[in-house]
Amino acid sequence: MTEGATIREFSEALGVTPRDIVQLLVKRGIFATLNQPIGESMANEIGITLGYNVSFVPFEEMVIEQEFEELIATDADDVELPRPPVVTVMGHVDHGKTSLLDAIRSDNVAEGEAGGITQHIGAYSVFVPNPDNPEEKRRVVFLDTPGHEAFTLMRARGAKATDVVILVVAADDGVMPQTIEAIEHSKAAGVPIIVAINKIDKPDASPDKVKQGLANQGLQPIDWGGETEMVPVSAKKRENLDTLLETVLLSTDILDLKASPTRRASGVVLEAKLDKGRGSVATVLVQQGTLHVGDPFIVGHFYGKVRAMFNDRGEIVQEAPPATPVEVLGLQGVPQAGDTFQVVSDIDKAQTIANQRQIHARNVAMLKTTKRGIESLGLAEVKELLVVLKADVQGSVEVLRATLEKLSTEKVKVRVIRSGVGAITESDVLLASATQADEVSTAVVIIGFNVRPSLRATEIAKQEEVDIRLHSIIYKVEEEIRAAMIGMLDAIEKEVILGKAVVLDIFKVSKVGTIAGCRVIDGVIRRQAKGRIIRDGVVVWEGDISSLKRFKEDTNEVRQGFECGISLANFNDIKVDDEIEAFVIERIAATEL
């Protein structure tokens, strides 16, 4: 069965009358119409009763299956033609990924990026000379993945949508942690790797050192008898870029990449955001078929109809063939980056499936919340830092959320109570304010990434004393949240010994109690300090020093070598030769989680 199958469709598949299914549902206390969807668990239960095993397939799979059935029935041609390769650029931060891509497409993006770090995935078509025929130009699609370690999820997603990976490694820096991450993601996705050894123009460049480091990670250079192409380049001086592109084309020619331009379009969402003027905007990579303006589609939890399309240069286009990145308008909501994009023939069916998916997602979220509440019963109270997270694009929301929640420790938990794309609104501030008032042992902060609060939201935040922090660089958000978590920790109590006195004599004073005549043998004894009695090396009492006298006069402190009278709060069993140790408890702010 397909997800979202109705009771009528279910009965037809089983070869029984719809009335039989309805009666079985009534026996289980469920009253439903024939056009209502039947849940998977209930379908399984009824199926077993009638002697069937029932399994469900995603709606997108059903669309593809139907399409093939239609092609067979009409005897239509479905020719797969060669398609352009999709290349993902990966590597460690500051190794020059964006600069390399800039040099290839002769467009300077790196200067405009905050902190020099690529914040969002970009997709670009580049025309390069054909190695076999320099007069002919061939199209190559590049995906530029962010380089900071917080973007591991986006890097992994980029590898799954790609045919070949260009791994950029700086010749003056070598293999770094994110280089290894990129290799692992590429290998997991079964994607071939071409290494671009960048910055060869630097005086301290050492390509052989890079090759050795990569060989240790299982990437053997071809000139060392291995299988990995490694091309020394300089993005800054535009050296060897033609060789790199030739290598990409030759490597992808071996893969024999093909796609059908005649099928219903399908692909993957690379990025999604909420645009104030245009609504929900998704950057999609068409992988099969040709996407046209007016096509109805389903993508994740949402459905819609392509209202307009723009290519990577911002030009309006009417259609997008395979291996083409385009911006699509017409979605009913903001999908998750990585969601499958599938054109459908039945928009009503797509709407039903999308609605069901949204309900299912809400139920799962509620179940998690309930479970969290049950599991927390009886446990020691844990401090929580609650975050309302708003960003300009869905990809940043995903990664920021994962990054912040990963910071949670046993002492302080980070919980994102709302996340989404778009400006910080009045609603976000009111949610933070209400949560701040309701929750115990919590702090609430609103994080805005590449977005700003509305004027009304700013005013309410001031009134309600809600903290709004605005950022444009991912790792700055991480640093600030970590600092806030440390600030929430209870101060550490540290005992500081002030001094010791030995008891020389005992005096009984009416209405006062026992006074110990002492000599201070180390440090200082203070009136405001706490004290403990040590007898034969064992602590026999601990409490407050109630009075400290010098020659019958009250004093605040007595230093080493001087004599004094000490009385202890609610303790009179003092003996000669006892030691009285004075100490204070200092509260020191926590410095680490």
Cβ neighbours for 324, distance < 8 A, ≥ 6 positions apart = 125, 141, 285, 286, 291, 311
Q: Could you give the maximum distance between any two Cα atoms of the chain, in Å? A: 115
- 94/148 Cα distance (integer angstroms): 9
- 532/69 Cα distance (integer angstroms): 89
pLDDT category at 430 given cuts 50, 70, 90 is confident
pTM, two decimals, is 0.63
Structure tokens at 155: 């890097």
- What mean pLDDT comes out for the span 562-581? 92
In this predicted structure, what is the pLDDT of residue 374? 41
Distance, C-alpha 160 to centroid of its chain? 18
Tell me how long the chain is. 593
Q: Which range has the top average pLDDT, 94-98, 157-161, 571-575?
A: 571-575
- What CA dihedral angle connects 402, 405, 409 and 411, to 10 degrees? 170
- What mean pLDDT comes out for the span 563-569? 93
Q: What is the pLDDT of residues 460-491, one digit of tens each?
A: 899 888 899 999 888 888 888 888 888 777 67
Q: What is the pLDDT of residues 100-142, one digit of tens each?
A: 888 887 643 444 555 554 444 468 888 888 777 777 888 999 8
β-bridge partners, 325: 285
pLDDT category at 565 given cuts 50, 70, 90 is very high
248 backbone φψ class: left, alpha, beta (φ>0; ψ -120 to 50): alpha
- For residue 259, the surrounding DSSP H or E stretch is strand 258-259
Q: Give the side-chain half-sphere CA count within 13 A for 293.
A: 11
* Mean pLDDT, the chain, whole residue set: 83
Place of tokens 């078929």: 289
Domains, the chain, ranges and CATH?
7-56 (no CATH), 59-75+265-377 (2.40.30.10), 84-256 (3.40.50.300), 380-488 (3.40.50.10050), 492-588 (2.40.30.10)
- Backbone torsions φ then ψ of 370, nearest 5 degrees: -65, -45
Q: Where are the alpha helices (DSSP H) in 342-447?
A: 347-375, 394-406, 426-438
- 282/450 Cα distance (integer angstroms): 18
Of 321, 274, 326, 318, whose CA–CA distance to 124 is shortest?
Answer: 326
pLDDT exceeds 90 at position 205: no
pLDDT exceeds 80 at position 189: no
- 450/126 Cα distance (integer angstroms): 28
pLDDT exceeds 50 at position 148: no
Lowest-confidence pick of 245-259, 430-444, 552-566: 430-444
pLDDT exceeds 50 at position 529: yes
Structure tokens at 83: 């398609």
